[in-house]
Every structure is written in C-alpha cells, then in structure tokens.
Amino acid sequence: MNKLVFILIGFFASIFFLCCVDEIDLNIDTDKQFVVIDGFISDRLDEYRVRVSTSAVIGLGNDNIFDNISGASVRVIDENGLAVNFQELEMEPGNYTGVMEVDPSLEYEVEVVMPDGEIIRSVPARALNSPDIDSLTFEVVTVEQINSAGNTVESDFIDIFTNTSVTDSEKPFLRWRVSGEYEFKEVFPGALDQLRCYVTNNLDLNNIEIFSTDDLNGNVLTDQFVIRTAVDDRFNTIYCFHVDQFGISEQEYDYWTNVQKLVDLEGSLFDPPPGELKNNLFSETNPDNIVLGYFSVSTVSEKRLFIGPQQIGYTVGTECRSFRFTTPRCSDCTTILGSTREKPPYWPI
Amino acid sequence: MKSYYYFERASLLAIFLLSSVYSFAQETDWIQLEFGNKKNNTESTVSLSGLVKDLNFDLPLIGATVEVVDKAIGTVTNENGTFKLELPTGQHQLAISYIGYNNMRVNLLIYENAFTILNLSGSAVELEQVTIKEQSQRDNIESVISGVERLDRRSLDTKPKLLGEVDVLRSIQTLSGVTSVGDGASGFNVRGGNADENLILQDGALIFNPSHTLGFFSLFHPDLINTVNLYKGDQPANYGGRLSSVLEVNLREGDMQNYKANVGLGLISSRLTLEGPVIKDKASLIIGGRGSYLDWLLNRVDDIDVRNSSAVFFDFTGKFSYRITDKTKLTITGFTSGDEFRFADQVNFEYQTNTLSGSLNQLISDKFNVRLGVSTGTYNSSLFDIDGNDISEFSNDIGYLRGELKALYQMSEKQKISFGVEGNSYTVNPGTISPTTEESTVIPDQLDEERAFAMSPFLQYDIDVTEKLSLSAGLRYTDYAINGPATVATYEENTPRSVTSFTGNITFEDGETIKKYSAFEPRFSARYILTESSSVKAGFNQTFQYLNQISNTASATPVDLWKLSDFHIQPQKSTNYFAGFFKNFDDNSVSSSIQLFYRSQDRIIEYKDFANLLLNDNLERELVDGRGRSFGAEFNYSMTSKRNFIQFNYTYSKSQRLVEESPTQESINNGTWFNSNYDKPHSLFVTYTYKTSKYGKLAANFTYSTGRPTTAPISNFRVDNLQNIPVFSDRNQFRIPDFHRLDVSYTVGPVRNKKDTFSTEFVFSIYNLYARKNAFSVFFEQRVARSISAVRVATLGTIFPAVTLNFSFGS
C-alpha cells in the first residue's frame, strides 16, 4: 500500500515539473524573405567581398535555404563620390569583390542596385581607429567532450589571446577576425626535401569576438580571448594565426552583440524576448522594406602568432606517417582546399 | 448520479468517524429593533445605516458582516465600522457576525430611514454558514467607489478550494479586469497594467511578491484572512505609489476568550493556525504557518532531472492584538516567508519576504478615530547560475520603512472626511553577484545601493449630496527624493544615452539629493442611484509610481530587480477614467454590472531590444520612455440561491504601448502602438457552486483568455561567418495559444462534534480537469541543422488532483 501511495505521489510530483515542454506551431506566415547585404572594408589595401542574398523561409523543409542574388550592381562610394565597383564572382553567385583601401578621413557607403531596380544603401560612415595589438599569447587547454559514441574524452585545444593598450581619450569598440594558415609536409618515399603546402584555414565559423573598451578597468586589454581551435596535425610543422583587430562603431558593436545572442539562443524560462537587429542598411526606393545584414567600415591592426610542436610540447599522430596507408593529401598537398605551394613572405625559415 | 451519492455518503462517513456526532451549537445574542410605524409609512424602501462596535471596548469593528437573512442580502462594515443597507419596509431578521464575537440576531421592524449602533460581545463560535452568497450584493449599487472588489472569508469560501485551500490570488484573478500571464506566473495584472503596478498590503505592510511556488499559492495564509479589498478603479487618497490597483489584505485577530487550532493536511502543503487569549478579553495572539514538502516526494521519482529539482516554501504569520483601553487598540503583525525553486541544473532561485507592522487605533469620539501605522520589511531574491564555469549567485533586495498617520472624522451621517500623511523610506540593492564555488570564474560585483524617501499628505472627503447622489473626492500630494551616495552618468543633450554620448559622472555625497519629483494625485468618483436596484458611477484619478520592477521577460519573475525612479528614470504616470452601470434583480439575489475603463499612461518604462538588465551600472541606457493606453469593458453577472451560486465575468480589453523616436531614443515597432505583454482582449471566468447537502459543496471554475502577445521568428539569415540568425517579428506581433482551463472541487464539511470543540472538512479538488497544456512561457530554441522553433512550457499542464483534510480544534 505504501509503495502504491509513493508511486502516486511521485507521479503527481513529477508532472508538476515535467509534463509539458514541447514544440508548438505559432501559425506564423512563413513566406517572408528579406534582402541581406553583408560585407566590410578597411584601411588595408585588400580584396573585399560583399555578399547579396535573401533570408531563408522558416519552417520544416525550408530551413537554411538561402538564395544568393546574382545580377546586382554593387559599388562602394566615398563622400567625394569616388566609387569602387565590385564584380560578381563567376564561381560564387551573389558574391561581389573589389580591391580598395579606406581613407579614415572620408565617409563611405555601399550602394547595391538589385536586379529589380531596388536601391539599397548603407548609412555613410567613417572608419574608426583600431589601436595596435601589443602582443598575442596562447594557451593549450584540455577540454572534456562527448564523442560520437557517447563517451567522454579529453581533447586539447589552443586558445589565442590579444593584449591591446588604449588611451584614456579613446575607448574604442573592437572586433577580431582570425584566420589561420599552416605548413603541410607531403610524405614522399625517398625524398630528401619533402614538398610543402601553405594552407589557409577559416577558423571563426559561427563565432564572433567583440569588446567594448568602455568595460575596461584601466588602459590595457589583457588576455582577451579571440579564438579556440583543436590541436591536430595542422600544428605538426608550423601554424600561423592572423589576428585582425577592427575598430568599429558602437552601433556595429551592438549589432554583433545581438547577433551573437540570437545565434546562441538556447531558450529558457527567463529568456528576455528577442528583438529587431538595428543595422546600417536601408532601401532607398522602398523605405518600408526591411534590409538585413551589416556593411562595416573600419580600420584594422594586425598581428601574427606562429605555433609549432615545440610550443605545444608534442606532435599529433597522422595518417601521413605511414607510406602504406595514406590519403591523397599526404602525397599531394595541393588537393587540400585553400592550399598553395607558394611560401608566404612572412613565413619563418 | 448514484455513484456521486455514494461518494458523498462515504466522505461524510469518513468525517463523522473523525468528529463523532455532529451538531451545531451556536451562541447568539438576540435583540429587537423598531423604527417608525406602519401607519405613517409612505416609502416602500428605507435605508438602515449603523455602526458595529465591540461591546466592551467601544471600538468599531471593520469588516463585520451584516446580513438580512430573509432577503439573502448583506454587506460588510467599512473602515469606520459603519454599514448601510436598503431594505423593503416591514419585518426583517438581521444577522451580524464578526470573527471572535458572538453572532447577533436582530428582529427588525423598520418603516423609516434609521441609524443604529450594534454592539457585539466576545465569543468563540465559528460563523454559521447561513448562505453561500457573495457579501456585497447590495454594495455594488450603494458604494460610491467604482471598481472595488471586496472579498471576505465567506465569499472566498464560495471559490473552489484548489490544491486544498482557498487562495486569495487565484480568487482575485477570477474578477473581471484582473488577469495573469498564465499558470505559474508571479503576481497579477489589473486593467492592462504590469504586475508591479499593484500596491499590495498585508495589515499595512508592503508585499513585493505575493506568490509562492511560481504563483500556485499566494503568500497570504487562508485561515488568517479577514477581508480582502481590491481597488482596481478608484483608489482612496490614503493609498498611492502604484499606477493600477491596491490589494489590501486584512488579517483577523485571535480569539480573545478561547484557544483554537486549525490544521490543514494536504498532498503538497499543510498549514496550522493557533489562536487564543493572552489576557482574556484584552489581548490575543493568532499564529499561522504553512509549508510545502514537495522535495521529499521529488526525491522518489526515477527521472534524474526531477530528482534534482526542488519546490519548497514556508510562511509564518503572527498577529498580536491588545485592547489597551476601551478606546485604544494596538495590533502588531509579523510575517516571514521563504521560497526555493530549482529545476535540474537549468533554473534555480530563492526569495524571502519579511515584514513587521503595527497599528495603534485611538477612538477620540464616536465620530473621530485616529490610526497610527508603522511597518517595515524586506524582500530579497537570488538567482543561481548552477552550471558551467560561471557558478554564482545574483541577488537583489529591497527594504522599506513606512509610517502612516490617518484620521477619520464622521462629520454627519452624510459626510465624512479622512486625512493624514504617509511617509516611505526605500533602500534598494539593484544587484550583487558573487561566485558560489572556488572554481567559479565569476568576479564579485555589486551595484550602488539606492535610497529614496517619499512623503505624501492626503485628504479624502465623501458626501451624500442627496439620497441618490454621492460624491467622493480625494487629493494626494507626493514629494519624492532620491538621495546619495551615488555616482550618476551624464550624457550629451539630445542624443540617445549610450557609451558614445557619455560625458562624465556626477558624484553625490551621502544624503545629498540627486533628484526630486513631486506631483498632485487627484481622485474623484460619483454615484447616482437610478432606481432601487440600479445605479451609475463614474470617476477618474491620477496616480504616480516611483518604484519600478525591471523585467523584460514576458512574465514577472520572483527575481526581477526593483529600481527607484532616479536622475534619468522619471516616475511613471497614469490617468484613469472609469464608469459603470450596476443593476440587481430578484431582491438582489442577482447582480450585474457593466464597467468601462480607459487608462492613459506616460513615461512607462519600456526596454530596448536585447536590453541588458542584470548588473548594469548604466541601466538608463537600456530603457526607453513609452506611453501606454488600456481600455475595456467588464461584464459581471452573479446569481445566488439557497443552493446555487453562479458567477460570470467577461472582460474585453486592450492594453498597448507606444515608443516613439525622439532625439534621445530610438522607436520600437517604428513608433506605432503595439500590444503590451498583458494584452488579452477576451477574458472569461465562470464559477458555479452547488450545495449538494448541508455539508457537501461542489464547485467548478472555467477560465478562458486570449493568448498573450509574443515576438516570434519570421525568417532566418546568414551574415559574415554566422549561420541561422533568426529574424524576429515586430514586438508582440503574434500570440501564444489561448488559455483555458476547467477546475472542480468537492468539499464536505465542516462537520462539528457534539460539544462543538472539533470540526473536520474534506476537500477533493482537480485542477485542469481536461489536461490543457496552457503555456506558462513560450521561448525559442536553436536546433541543430534546423531553424529556430517555438517551445512551450506548461506548468501543471495536465490533470492535477489534490486531497486535503482540514481540522479545527477549540470551542
């Protein structure tokens, strides 16, 4: 009898908490798609990219289908009316590139003329100063993870940190973009000097690192985390982290802060309701149309950090150590995406 | 039908076994009163007004029940102990009752308007349940104040005893114009206002969070409640500081002659009340405690998340009453409560309320009464981060000291005036964070404490201009100052408050005034009696709020922080208009009303999108000034017969906000009106109570309301290196599913033993009979390889039965 009572009581107790967390349909009209403009320019002479696309329709079967928009006319115009035309890449529709550098004393805007004639612009903005990066540091950390078999395993990662000094008069907002490049040695039987490739590596997918130096206590930003990546055979010869530090506006800082909140949305009882992302783009021809994305104008300061097995303390095992069981990349590293045999001029000997 | 019969018989049998032989033993004082004579009578209806007093101590009894037994109508005495009834001429029988006093029966012969003083003598007899009708059937016609709802122990008794007890918060949410965000929400919303816009007082002490366990229980011990007044329209001038309403809970005094005990044993919680004389006929004490014990049940559940969860509360209330002289009375009330709620490693919070209040009533003469009230209290809450590297406690608290001196002068039978002054001192800690383990990476931090003082003189004048027209006018003036020490940020003029527009800090020394605000708050209402059974009422008032709950979650939570109006945040203002038509039928056994309201609000606190509210030194950067408007029509119908009680409340209302663009702020929803979080256009509540026998009572509740507004994702995009960024709709553009629920309860008892020293009551209730999954919260979750989706959390989203046994000891 007692057992029965406990079972009943336990049942009531558990439904008090458990019974009802489920997915519901809010009957939202899911046909809406918006134009997305995405790009940045800086004071470094470089090739820049502007991507023109549409947002995806929400709903089962439609998830993550983004349409790139071809045939748009993209220009970046300074306040004197000088324009740099961006050309669409043949192999990547919707992606438009142009070579330029920003003069920090001038305001710039992007102008996108859509195939249907709609004109979209960004609010003219001047590049804000980015202080120099004093130094980059790293740390190897061991993190517990659950592998695909469901077991807890330990893996090593490298965390990269920046150290930057700011002045009292300037409290900039900063954003970091990190790319990686590593040297890869081919395995070729009998070769005295193995052939090498230099492979570029996109590191910060779905990650954004920004900082408001207004939150800084003092004038030195110390050990600001910028990226984490796994320790693997990319580090077996030498790995180069390129850290670009951009000086951005408060509005852009707020934009990326809120974008990160939306990406990280996990859902909880105490979630504040999310809201509208305020950006710097607008439709000149149809002011009621919502335009998504951000066009950033900034200055950049950069720094590199080389890390090899000596710094990490060990070499990671790889399939290229055996002559018998190798993959194509082991004997021809040009098959690796983003690779070149041309040694970058800044590469250590 | 047959099974129902057996169920009732079985229940009765169980109770009778506990209570031996049952019978009523009621001490009653009988008197005869005659006014006028039949020969000279020309009126068909006359009014009887009077004063109910303590026989020995000459003190007015507030909240005493005066019922006309033969007409099944009644009223309760007001704050002066007076009452007024409209009666057909002829012979009637009155029943006057008050907790702790002998019932009085009056054989009344009345042919002219009359005034009488009724003196009740001390007693220990529990009120006889003469009828299950609502108290104020006639009051709705007579009362000058529009939009006041009075509940006492008897009218609360008509409500279903869900989860084993009658609950004040659940009961007031059945009233028209009162809603909550949903099952499990803290607080309540009156006529489209935020939960923090309600002034909640328990024996004069401020209550900042009236809920236990996510709102399933209220803070108020049901066995200690004497009367509950909810002023949702007009507010008497002695109340202020909140925009929407006043909820006044008055606790009863302990028995002055005999010792008594009440016990309620339930599945989730139990309660105990003890009372008795400290000095017979002069001083009494009543203490009550409640506690829940869900944890030891949760620990027996297989699911690890449930086993690691907790939902416990306790409260303890004590009230000491002392009749110092026959004209002076002292009461002291102490209250403490605590709550802890944890669900696995996802949510964990605690909150505590402590109050101490005292009042000294001095009767200068039959017409002049002075009351001095002093109260102090604290409310503190903690939100725990219990997962990851940031294990920490975020806490905030508010403390206050309140004093009120109020005088009541009954100038004549038709005029009365009350005046006085109220002072409030507040201390707010808006946030402290501290690590709770050595491994935590959280750095301790604390925001500056805030201090403010408000002084409010007030004056209220009520007059019966003619027999049909009555007016009530009040004026309140508040002088508010927020004081140092503090560091206040300043910004460039005509620019939004932000890091970029920040110009510097101003430092204020201890006690130095940072900012002063002052305002007059007029109140006016009028009532005109159209016919014997109908009246119209109208009025307006203006209210200001200086103490704000900062929350941008859809529902107020127990851990929302409190913030005083300060250098940047101006007091919120509301101008309220209301009118109503009241009509009774069938000798007041049926009452109905239509009430209209319109509220216009200025300087309403709204939140920027993605506002960061926790531990923010510069909270003003996250807030924007808004305007608000609410309007609606409330329809009420209730019918009482000997066995049946039906109540039907329907409200149509809108509650909206507007945040326009200005040089100092960005707009929300492009500067157009949008629905507030509490906008629920249709709200319906139906209660049916049926007395199955002398001891059995079946009650059912049905409640329906439109789903509240929500902001939902409408698209999804990628930018830079980020994928799946949801695009959200305009604020509150969509709605969550509608809310509806049916509850039933069956009560058997109370059954007393022969000597009337012991009584028992059995309550069986089923909450959410058809297992509707009403959403307490809807949030949005990013799913792997999918776009964002809406997730509903429904607390008690299934059928929930409960059994409670109530015992009462003492004669």
Selection from A61-70, B329-338, B384-393, B684-693 with the highest mean pLDDT: B329-338
DSSP string computed for A118-160: -EEEEPPEEPBP-PPEEEEEEEEEEEEEE-TTS-EEEEEEEEE
* pLDDT reported for residue A20: 60
Full pLDDT tens readout for chain A, 349 residues: 445 444 444 444 555 544 566 777 777 766 778 999 999 999 999 999 999 999 887 765 555 566 889 999 999 999 999 999 999 999 999 999 999 999 999 999 999 999 999 999 999 999 998 899 999 999 999 888 777 777 788 889 999 999 998 876 677 899 999 989 999 888 766 566 678 889 988 776 667 788 887 777 777 888 889 999 988 888 888 999 999 999 999 899 999 999 888 887 766 655 666 788 889 999 999 998 999 999 999 999 999 999 998 888 888 877 776 666 567 778 788 888 888 989 999 998 7
A98 and A242 housed in the same domain: no
Interface of A with B in 177-206 (CB under 8 A): 202, 204-206
Q: Which residues of A touch B787 (CB under 8 A)?
A: 56, 58-59, 62-64
CATH number of residue A99's parent domain: 2.60.40
| Binary contact (A208, B785; C-beta < 8 A) | no
Best mutation target among B162, B715, B729 (most A Cβ atoms within 10 Å) is B715
Looking at the fold, whether A149 and A114 belong to one and the same domain comes out as no
Give B714's contacts in chain A (Cβ within 8 Å).
Answer: 28-30, 32, 58
Nearest-CA distance A4 → chain B (Å): 12
Domain that holds residue A83: 35-127
- E strands, B178-298, are 178-179, 189-190, 198-202, 205-206, 211-212, 217-218, 225-231, 245-251, 260-266, 269-279, 283-292
A214 plus A319 within the same structural domain: yes
- pLDDT, one tens digit per residue, over B718-762 is 888 777 788 888 899 888 889 898 988 888 878 877 777 788 888
Q: Where are the domains of chain B?
A: 163-809
Smallest Cα distance from A131 to chain B, Å: 17
Check whether residue A311 and residue A188 sit in a common domain: yes
In a domain, A289, yes or no: no
For residues B418 and B463, give the distance between their C-alpha atoms in angstroms, rounded to a whole number: 12
| Total tally of structural domains belonging to chain A | 2
Q: Do residues A118 and A176 both lie within one domain? A: no
- Nearest Cβ partner for B713 among A58, A271, A292: A58
**Chain A residues near residue B394 by CB distance under 8 angstroms:** none
Would you call B791 and A21 a contact, using CB atoms and an 8 Å cutoff? Answer: yes
Q: Final residue of a domain: which of A112, A127, A142?
A: A127
A272/B613 touch (CB, cutoff 8 Å), yes or no = yes
A206 and A316, same structural domain?
Answer: yes
The answer to whether domain B163-809 has CATH 2.40.170.20 is yes
Average pLDDT of the residues in B285-312: 80
- The Cα of A48 is separated from the nearest Cα of chain B by a number of Å equal to 12
Out of A238-242, B53-57, B680-684, B754-758, pick the least confident. B53-57
Q: Is residue A266 part of a domain?
A: no
Q: Do A64 and B787 count as a contact with CB atoms less than 8 A apart?
A: yes
Q: Which residue of A has its CA nearest to B312?
A: A13
Indicate if A180 and A328 belong to the same structural domain: yes
Task: Answer whether residue B452 shows pLDDT above 50.
Answer: yes
Q: Is the pLDDT of residue B303 over 90?
A: no
Q: Are residues A96 and A202 in the same domain?
A: no
Nearest to B499 among A10, A214, A294 (CB): A214
What is the C-alpha separation between A268 and A270, in angstroms, rounded?
Answer: 5
Contacts of A53 in chain B (CB under 8 A): 717-718
Asked if the C-beta of A2 comes within 8 angstroms of chain B's C-beta atoms, the answer is no
Could you give the 3-state DSSP secondary structure of residue B5?
helix
Considering only CB atoms, B715 lies closest to which of A19, A55, A208, namely A55
Same domain, A123 and A146: no
pLDDT digits (tens, 9 = 90+) for B166-180: 778 878 888 888 888
pLDDT score for A5 = 47
Residue A75: inside a domain = yes
Total CB pairs under 8 A between chain A and B:
239
CA nearest to B282, candidates B127, B62, B122: B122
Nearest CA in chain B to A19: B797
Closest CA to A120 of A56, A49, A36, A57: A36
Cα gap A237→B120, rounded to integer Å: 98
User: Is A141 near chain B, with CB under 8 Å?
Assistant: no
Judged against a pLDDT cut of 80, whether residue B208 lies above it is answered with yes
Q: Does A270 touch chain B (CB under 8 A)?
A: yes
Name the A residues in 50-109 with CB < 8 Å from any B CB: 53-59, 62-64, 66
SS3 A10: helix
Most A CBs within 10 Å, among B727, B766, B768, to test the A interface: B727
| Per-residue pLDDT, A321 | 66
Counting beta carbons within 10 angstroms of the beta carbon of residue B591, is it exposed (0 to 12), middle (13 to 18) or buried (19 or more)? buried
- Say if residue A43 is in the same domain as residue A178: no
The complex scores an ipTM of 0.84
Report the sign of the C-alpha dihedral through residues B189, B191, B197, B199, in that order: negative
Q: Confidence band (pLDDT; 50, 70, 90) for B467?
A: confident
- 3-class SS at A281? strand
Residues of B in contact with A259 (CB under 8 A): 719, 722, 725
The model's pTM is: 0.81
